[in-house]
């Protein structure tokens, strides 16, 4: 029997469908529907009997969730694994699901910061600053640059995954895949640590103390020289005194004290709490709704 | 607005809604959606300017893990429609005021859109169960149709509010959104700031082992240095990963060749 191979056309068809990965995003198995939808051209080509087809469809409706772009190398590797399997190699369901799950977490940790928090803000800010003047070049630049980068990334990383997939399949127990996964986890954890500090925002507003400062520790606005001389003098004093010099009273907020301890402490504690709650099987929606409730209560009673 | 304009606006809204979940072509980003709505309603310049302003606000909005970001799709589509209505019927409003009003409404709208997204993501649960049933019978067509329906649902999520906004007077919408008390809108914003933690927690749970936790600590502490951009942090992260993997390889080889325990201090103590 001749070996069944996925042609470039098959792989392109998968890459095209892969763009609709998140279409049926759901709280139960997340991107599973879109993943299965993307795999269909390959499954049709590789398996001919009804039973094999049904088994393959079910295999690819398992839980899956990652960043929609870095998912491309994962689907490339999976295509290679399915191809090996269809040609009689001993690649079982657990191995395929293991590769998917093993790669999706670390890769999401890379994809989110790279695409959502670096490339898109940079292109967005570039396009937006041109658009603010009413120039059509801004939106066009953003749209075309983004989509060219995105499509090139989707196709070439999928091909890369497909080409290394065969070697991974031969050596599932360790070596290459283990190293890639470990390296990606290290990078991912490092970046997530950074993002928690930068992007999770919790600010406590209560005032701890209000002290009237000694003369000379604040800018005496009433006795500044008139005109631009006054502005100069105020700026000079501000440079010397720092932000506390702006008012007669020095206000210390709870947030200020926490930031002196370590900036972002509350954010990291909240993240760790979420980790623990999720591990206990509490649904993410429940946590999200609770956080909104806390936020509203915090604003209502004036402590956040 | 003319009939054709309304149809085109609804079409743009549908595209934006689909993209709000797919996150591929970026039709839901304000820069694109507001420009398109401006184009089809005959106010291209104002649309582009509104898109630019909203894009600046929305730069950091992203879906991470299972957490949903403020909804850029509804915010850009609805505020663009409100701006167009402000421009179209009134000689009273100049472009600057219309754009400013639209910007002010965008944030509460994005929070409203967030609930619609969560609703769609819940409705998608039974949809994937239908996919399961189709898979059982090796019914490819069935899986495909349910996937496309689910995407369509996300499009309708924005298309319906857009159609409603085209029909009802702009003042009613503005009044309704402004009637939202400060503590509710502000509290939603506070909650939105915290919600990202849930997404990060999900990703952490997928990756975390005792071995990689120290890198989380490093990232967290280094991020407090404001001069380090995310690209710089990424470079540090890659360097750390390479160094760590290299050292680990070295330790393994050393262990094999020399028979040591891979723990120099332990070796010294043993020899002592």
pLDDT of chain A along its 304 residues, tens only?
578 889 999 999 999 999 999 999 887 788 999 999 999 999 999 999 999 999 999 999 988 888 899 999 999 999 998 998 898 877 777 778 777 877 776 777 778 777 887 788 888 888 888 898 888 999 999 999 999 999 999 999 999 999 988 776 566 555 666 676 677 778 778 878 887 887 777 878 777 777 777 777 777 777 777 778 888 888 888 887 777 777 777 777 777 777 777 778 888 999 999 889 988 888 776 787 788 788 888 888 877 7
| pLDDT for residue A237 | 80
User: Which pLDDT tens digit goes with each residue over B134-144?
Assistant: 999 999 999 99
Q: Which of B59, B194, B220 sits opposite A197 (nearest CB)?
A: B220
Asked whether the beta carbons of residue A34 and residue B147 sit closer than 8 angstroms, the reply is yes
Is B198 within 8 Å of A274 when comparing Cβ atoms?
Answer: yes
Tell me whether residue A173 is exposed, middle or buried, using C-beta atoms within 10 angstroms of its C-beta: 0 to 12, 13 to 18, 19 or more. exposed
Judged by CB atoms within 8 Å, which residues 80-119 of A form the interface with B? 101, 104-106, 108-109, 112-114, 116-118
| Cα gap B257→B245, rounded to integer Å | 19
How many CA atoms are closer than 13 Å to the CA of A34, on its beta-carbon side? 29
- Cβ contacts (< 8 Å) between A116 and chain B: which residues? 62-64
Give the model's pLDDT for residue B152: 96
With contact defined as beta carbons under 8 Å apart, do B87 and B46 qualify?
yes
Going by C-beta distance under 8 Å and a sequence separation of 6 or more, which residues neighbour residue B202? A65, A278, A284, B65, B66, B67
Instruction: Collect the ranges in chain B with pLDDT lower than 70.
Output: 60, 63-68, 88-93, 170, 173-174, 176-178, 180, 185, 188-189, 192, 196, 199, 203, 206, 230, 254-272
Residue A190 to residue B218: CA distance in whole angstroms: 6
Contact at CB, B124 and A33, closer than 8 angstroms: yes
- Nearest 5°: phi and psi at A207? -95, 125
Predicted pLDDT at B258: 46
The partner residue sitting opposite A300, judged by closest CB among B137, B187, B196, is B187
Q: How far apart are CA B200 and CA B204, in angstroms?
A: 6
Asked if B190 and A296 come within 8 Å (Cβ–Cβ), the reply is yes
Nearest-CA neighbor of A291 among B261, B188, B152, B213? B188
Residues of A within 8 A of B128 (CB-CB) are 24, 26, 28-29, 32-33, 61
Contact by Cβ (8 Å): B215, A189: yes
Instruction: Tell me the two tokens of residue B99.
Output: 């754009």
Given an 8 Å threshold on Cβ–Cβ distance, is B197 in contact with A183? Answer: no
Nearest to B48 among A65, A135, A293 (CB): A135
Q: Return the DSSP state at B67.
A: B
The ipTM of this complex is 0.70
Q: How close is the nearest chain B Cα to the Cα of A27, in Å?
A: 6
- Which pLDDT belongs to residue B151? 96
Residue A214 has a CB neighbour count (10 Å cut-off) of: 8
Provide the pLDDT for residue B85: 83
Q: For residue A252, give the H/E element and its range.
A: strand A249-253
Which chain B residue has the Cα nearest residue A31? B128
Q: By CB neighbour count within 10 A (0-12 exposed, 13-18 middle, 19+ buried), where does B3 fall?
A: exposed
| Confidence (pLDDT) at A176 | 63
């Amino acid at each position: 029997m001749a070996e069944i191979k996925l042609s470039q056309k098959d792989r392109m068809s998968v890459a095209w469908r892969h763009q609709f990965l998140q279409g049926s995003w759901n709280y139960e198995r997340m991107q599973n529907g879109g993943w299965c939808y993307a795999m269909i051209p390959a499954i049709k080509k590789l398996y001919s009997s009804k039973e094999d087809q049904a088994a393959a469809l079910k295999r690819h409706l398992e839980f899956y969730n990652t960043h929609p772009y870095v998912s491309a190398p994962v689907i490339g590797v999976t295509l290679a694994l399915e191809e090996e399997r269809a040609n009689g190699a001993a690649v079982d369901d657990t191995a395929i699901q293991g590769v998917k799950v093993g790669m999706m977490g670390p890769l999401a940790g890379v994809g989110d910061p790279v695409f959502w928090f670096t490339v898109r803000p940079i292109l967005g800010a570039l396009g937006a600053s041109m658009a603010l003047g009413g120039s059509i070049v801004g939106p066009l630049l953003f749209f075309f640059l983004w989509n060219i980068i995105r499509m090139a990334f989707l196709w070439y990383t999928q091909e890369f995954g497909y080409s290394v997939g065969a070697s991974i399949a031969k050596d599932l127990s360790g070596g290459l895949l283990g190293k890639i996964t470990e390296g990606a986890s290290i990078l991912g954890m490092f970046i997530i640590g950074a993002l928690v500090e930068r992007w999770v925002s919790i600010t406590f507003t209560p005032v701890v103390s209000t002290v009237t400062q000694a003369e000379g520790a604040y800018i005496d606005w009433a006795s500044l020289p008139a005109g631009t001389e006054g502005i100069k003098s105020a700026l000079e004093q501000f440079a010397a005194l720092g932000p506390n010099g702006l008012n007669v009273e020095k206000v210390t907020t709870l947030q200020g004290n926490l930031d002196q301890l370590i900036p972002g402490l509350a954010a990291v504690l909240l993240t760790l709490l979420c980790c623990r709650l999720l591990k206990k099987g509490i649904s993410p929606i429940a946590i999200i709704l609770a956080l909104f409730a806390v936020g509203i209560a915090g604003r209502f009673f004036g402590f956040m | 607005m003319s009939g054709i304009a309304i149809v085109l606006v609804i079409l743009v809204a549908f595209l934006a809604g689909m993209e709000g979940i797919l996150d591929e072509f970026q039709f839901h980003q304000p820069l694109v959606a507001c420009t398109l709505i401006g184009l089809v309603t005959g106010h291209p310049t104002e649309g582009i300017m509104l898109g630019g302003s909203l894009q600046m606000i929305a730069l950091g909005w992203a879906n991470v893990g299972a957490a949903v970001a403020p909804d850029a799709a509804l915010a850009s589509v609805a505020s663009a429609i409100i701006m167009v209505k402000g421009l179209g019927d009134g000689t009273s409003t100049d472009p600057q005021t219309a754009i400013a009003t639209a910007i002010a409404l965008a944030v509460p709208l994005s929070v409203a859109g967030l609930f619609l997204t969560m609703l769609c993501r819940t409705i998608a649960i039974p949809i994937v169960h239908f996919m399961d049933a189709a898979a059982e019978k090796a019914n490819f067509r069935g899986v495909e149709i349910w996937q496309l329906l689910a995407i369509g649902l996300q499009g309708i999520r924005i298309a319906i509010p857009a159609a409603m906004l085209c029909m009802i007077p702009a003042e009613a919408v503005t009044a309704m959104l402004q009637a939202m008390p400060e503590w509710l809108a502000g509290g939603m914003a506070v909650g939105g700031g915290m919600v990202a933690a849930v997404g990060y927690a999900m990703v952490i749970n997928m990756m975390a082992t005792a071995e990689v936790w120290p890198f989380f600590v490093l990232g967290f502490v280094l991020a407090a240095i404001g001069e380090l951009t995310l690209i710089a942090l990424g470079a540090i992260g890659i360097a750390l990963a390479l160094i760590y993997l290299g050292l680990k390889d070295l330790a393994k080889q050393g262990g094999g060749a020399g028979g040591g325990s891979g723990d120099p201090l332990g070796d010294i103590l043993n020899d002592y």
